[in-house]
Amino acid sequence: MSIDLGYVTKRLELPAALGEALFIAARAAARVAAKKLRRRPPPRGRILAPGTDTPLWNELVRQVTPLVAKRGSKAQLARILGLPRQRLQVCLKAKSACLDAERTLLLLCWVAARQRGREFLG
């Protein structure tokens, strides 16, 4: 039994490019933040809160913000992610929480689809 990896690779091509772009932007933001703060990195194993220690999350939120400007789009995104609207608000607007790994990956795919002008239904 063989698996056609060409199909999988094509499907992951755009999210990989988006992930790379997010990484580059976050790395630049992290360098600026590190110069300003001159803080030590958080201890290993601790849960990170959104802020200067989470440049990738900050960049993802920055990419999501214009995509949820239309009325009702945050509610639709919350349904796709399987979250209450208020929890999504806390993550994106209040910036006092992050999503778990699975929902973050779903959000990344949603962003990639929306930036290409497509609907992502999860």
What integer pLDDT is reported at residue 37 of this predicted model?
64
Residue by residue, pLDDT tens for the chain (122 residues) are 444 545 444 555 667 777 777 778 878 877 777 666 666 666 676 667 788 778 888 889 999 999 999 999 999 999 999 999 999 999 988 888 888 889 999 999 999 998 888 887 76
Question: Which residues 6+ apart lie within 8 Å of 23 measured at CB?
Answer: 56
Residue 55: inside a domain: yes
Residue 77: inside a domain: yes
Residue 67: inside a domain: yes
CA atoms within 13 A of residue 55's CA, in its CB half-sphere: 15
Residue 58: inside a domain: yes
Residue numbers of the domain that contains 81? 9-39+50-115
Q: Total domain count for the chain?
A: 1
Residue 68: inside a domain: yes
What integer pLDDT is reported at residue 86 of this predicted model?
93
What integer pLDDT is reported at residue 8 of this predicted model?
46
